[in-house]
Chains A and B, each alone.
Chain A
Amino acid sequence: MSFLATSDKLAHWNGLLANFGYLVSVILFILAIMRMGRVKTARSGNTMAAVAMLLAVVSSFVEMGQIDPTWIIVGLVIGSAVGAIMAKRVQMTQMPEMVALLNGFGGLSSTFVGLATYFSLAEAGRRGTLGAMMEQAGQGGWFGGINLGLTIIVGSVTFTGSMIAFLKLSEKMSGKPILLPGRHVLNGLLLIVPLALAVGTVWFVSAPWLIATMLIAATLLTFALGVTLVIPIGGGDMPVVISLLNSYSGIAGALAGFTIGEPVLVVSGSLVGASGIILTMIMCKAMNRSLANVIFGGFGATDSAAGGGGKSEYKNVKSADAETAAMLMADAQSMIIVPGYGMAVAQAQHAIRELAKILEAKGCNVRYAVHPVAGRMPGHMNVLLAEANVPYEQLFEMDQINEDFKNTDVVLVIGANDTVNPAAKTDKTSPLYGMPVLNVEEAKAVFTIKRSLGSGFAGVKNELFECPNNYMVYGDARKVVEEVIKALKEA
């Protein structure tokens, strides 16, 4: 009796202390996200979020009290080691893949939390439907049960969807859209059947083996759904997909919070869910497309070939060599550099920074114009340029700088294509029509560094290349910039 009384009291104090810890960690998470929104406070915001996470984990240990933590510690040690190694080794150009991979792990973790929560109820001797089991365990009855199913579903879609995104981004798989016949019907079935299975476990099925089988079947089917949802989406739409999957991982966390009845998970999960949705919307707006169009469109596979000017030949294209470009740049008073995914592929950011330094020493005002969907994830170009020590004050958003192109001597387009295509403004038959683009053609001279005249991601002819003030400089982005630097130094 006395032992029970003590452990009850201990449990009481545990719970009180732990919940205070959770409350502080929720406050810290909110403040951290607030700080992460400003350049000057962003780093401390990230540290604050890490502290909040640590506090939440410690509080959880306090709440659990006297348990055998061996397996928890095993997981923590393995995870910390793998995570730390990944974070140290990754190159900045690989950030989109890294985020996709981590996001996938988060999703799979949620799936496992859902499954393990069921198994621990069964192992603790709870019987009946999943709803009844959750009720006996004081974990929210049918509400907890439904959320357990949803945690598994959203977590699994996040996992395989992120893995496909990872494979596409790291070019282990073709970035081209893969369109399955009848994919909308297939996707619908892969969503409805797992939902039905989840509902079945909560109210209608009470044999433990059958509940387990149904939950595992739901997991496998939604694994397939993640794959079929992401394979039709082309490489250039990845900024939208990554943002959306990021949001899903947050939602999975919030659902897991409903399942175990823990508000910290609900709050932090929904914060992440909301941030992912906002980024998704920003990316869609920057491409003048709806979210539905990105997800269901299979853009760049079939539609664009039918668009105006899609396959026509280029006429009157001027080209120049690096020396000519260097000569014009040497006399320029102002230059705007427009980076795109090609800059990341060629790892040209350091060479660009060096070129900018040389021109700045000659009194040229060098700025960078970053289109919202340049690269493969939101803010991709900014990170790469920051890596090359470009001060962030020199980086401008499209709206801030678009009026300045007409007063600019030289524009250097490096690895960008669809985001500088004037056809988006003028050609109503172009698939890009309506997408906000950078007005590079208004500058006195434009140099476009490109390997060849091949089309961009959207498979659309770029009218910029035929503009009288545009000069193509053919070659690898980094090599060309290095040649320009050499010519400038020799001059």
Chain B
Amino acid sequence: MDVGMILMQVYVFVLACFAGYQLISKVPPTLHTPLMSGSNAISGITILGAMLAAKVGTGSPFGVSTIIGMLAVALATINVVGGFMVTNRMMGMFKSKG
């Protein structure tokens, strides 16, 4: 493994952590629950890894990996779809006086 590539990935990780910290440290408590369920849906991004595992094609025959991958896709999709929909429902309830 090219050390440069590893370093690049670690850079991306560290910078994203800083960005996340800066973006979220001033969120008002009213939004803590929706923020949590919304960010939870974002963590369903593992769906991309799941799709790679569930695909069948050249150099990637049908096998145990396909089935486990399919389960991973289903679970990540529940996380993504359920998370975004319920967050949307919650946010719709936040009303101002006007």
Given A36-B34, A278-B25, residue A392 in contact with residue B94 (CB < 8 A): yes
Given contacts A75-B54, A102-B83, A265-B49, contact A393 B96 (CB under 8 A): yes
Q: A270 to B46, alpha carbons, bound, how many Å?
A: 12
Within the complex, the shortest CB–CB distance from A374 to chain B, in Å, comes to 10
Does A259 lie at the interface of the complex (its beta carbon under 8 Å from any beta carbon of B)? Answer: yes
Q: How far is the CA of A116 from the CA of B70 in the complex (A)?
A: 9
Minimum CB distance partner of B83 in chain A: A102
Contacts A87-B89, A140-B5 given; does A392 touch B96 at CB 8 Å: yes
Q: A36-B31, A270-B17 are in contact. Are A116 and B65 (CB under 8 A)?
A: yes
Closest to A86 in B: B82
Kindly name the residue among B12, B28, B76 whose own CB sees the greatest number of chain A CB atoms within 10 A.
B76
Which of A33, A68, A143 touches B57 (beta carbons < 8 Å)?
Answer: A68
Query: Are the CB atoms of A246 and B40 closer together than 8 Å?
Result: yes
With contacts A36-B38, A37-B26 taken as known, whether A75 is within 8 angstroms of B82 at the C-beta atoms is no
Interface residues of B in 71-98 (CB under 8 A from A): 71-97
From known contacts A43-B92, A72-B73, infer whether A377 and B33 are also in contact, taking CB-CB under 8 Å: yes
Asked if A42 and B55 make an inter-chain contact with CB atoms under 8 angstroms apart, the answer reads no
- List the A side residues contacting B33 at CB < 8 Å: 95, 99, 377-380, 382-383
How many residues of A are in contact with the other chain, CB < 8 A? 119
The reply to whether A123 and B65 form a contact with Cβ atoms under 8 Å apart is yes
Give CA–CA (A135, B54) in the complex, Å.
Answer: 21
Taking a contact as CB atoms under 8 Å apart, the answer to whether B82 and A82 are in contact is yes
- Give the shortest distance, in Å, between A223 (CB) and chain B (any CB): 15
Size class of the contact patch on chain B: 35 or more
Interface string of A357-379 (1 = CB under 8 A from B): 00000000000001010000111
0/1 interface trace, chain A 63-91, chain B, CB 8 Å (1 if under): 01011111110111011101110111010
- From B6, B20, B89, B95, A391 is in contact (CB under 8 Å) with B95
| Whole-angstrom CA separation of A262 from B40 in the bound complex | 19
Evaluate whether A252 and B75 lie within 8 angstroms (CB atoms) in the complex, with A88-B85, A267-B16, A392-B96 already known. Answer: no
**Among A52-60, A228-236, A405-413, which stretch is in contact with chain B?**
A52-60
Residues of the B chain whose Cβ atoms lie less than 8 Å from the Cβ of A448: none
- State which of B37, B38, B56, B95 has its C-beta within 8 Å of the C-beta of A70: B56
Within 8 A of A (CB), among B17-31: 17-21, 23-31
If A90-B86, A269-B45 touch, whether A120 touches B53 (CB-CB below 8 Å) is yes
Partner of B60, one of A67, A98, A275: A67
- The interface residues of chain B lying within 8 Å CB-to-CB of A33 are 20, 23-24, 39, 42
Contact B69 A112 (CB under 8 A): yes
> When the two chains form the complex, which single residue of A39, A260, A272, A393 contacts B49, counting CB atoms closer than 8 Å?
A260
Query: Given the known A-B contacts A36-B31, A105-B78, A144-B1, are A116 and B53 also in contact in the complex, defined by CB atoms under 8 Å?
Result: yes
B41 → chain A, closest Cβ, in Å?
7
**Residues in A neighbouring B31, C-beta threshold 8 A:** 36-39, 42, 379, 382
A171 vs B74: C-alpha distance when bound (angstroms): 27
Most buried by A among B47, B68, B75, B86: B75
Majority DSSP secondary structure for residues of B touching A? helix
Interface residues of A in 403-459 (CB under 8 A from B): none
Judge whether A102 and B82 touch: CB under 8 Å. Answer: yes
* Cα distance, A242 to B36, chains bound together (Å): 9
B8 to chain A, nearest CB (A): 9
Query: Are A109 and B93 in contact, with the CB atoms below 8 A?
Result: no
Q: In the bound complex, what is the Cα–Cα distance between A105 and B76 (angstroms)? A: 7
Q: Which of A37, A56, A252 contacts B35 (CB 8 A)?
A: A37
Given A264-B45, A378-B29, list of 19 further CB < 8 A pairs?
Answer: A33-B42, A36-B34, A43-B88, A46-B87, A74-B74, A83-B77, A102-B40, A109-B47, A109-B76, A124-B61, A143-B6, A250-B42, A257-B49, A263-B12, A267-B12, A267-B16, A274-B18, A383-B33, A389-B95
Residue ranges of A at the interface with B (Cβ–Cβ < 8 Å): 29-30, 32-34, 36-39, 42-43, 45-47, 49-50, 53, 56-57, 60-61, 64, 66-72, 74-76, 78-80, 82-84, 86-88, 90, 92, 95, 98-99, 102-103, 105-106, 108-110, 112-113, 115-120, 122-124, 135, 140-144, 242-243, 246, 249-250, 252-254, 256-279, 282, 370, 372, 377-380, 382-383, 386-387, 389, 391-393, 395, 397
Could you show 23 A-B contacts with beta carbons less than 8 Å apart? Answer: A30-B19, A39-B28, A46-B88, A71-B54, A71-B67, A74-B70, A76-B77, A83-B80, A102-B41, A110-B49, A112-B75, A116-B66, A117-B53, A141-B1, A257-B45, A258-B13, A271-B20, A271-B39, A272-B20, A278-B21, A278-B25, A382-B33, A386-B95
Which 10 A-B pairs have CB atoms at the shortest separation, nearest pair first?
Answer: A79-B77, A75-B73, A274-B20, A379-B32, A83-B81, A141-B1, A83-B82, A116-B53, A67-B57, A87-B85
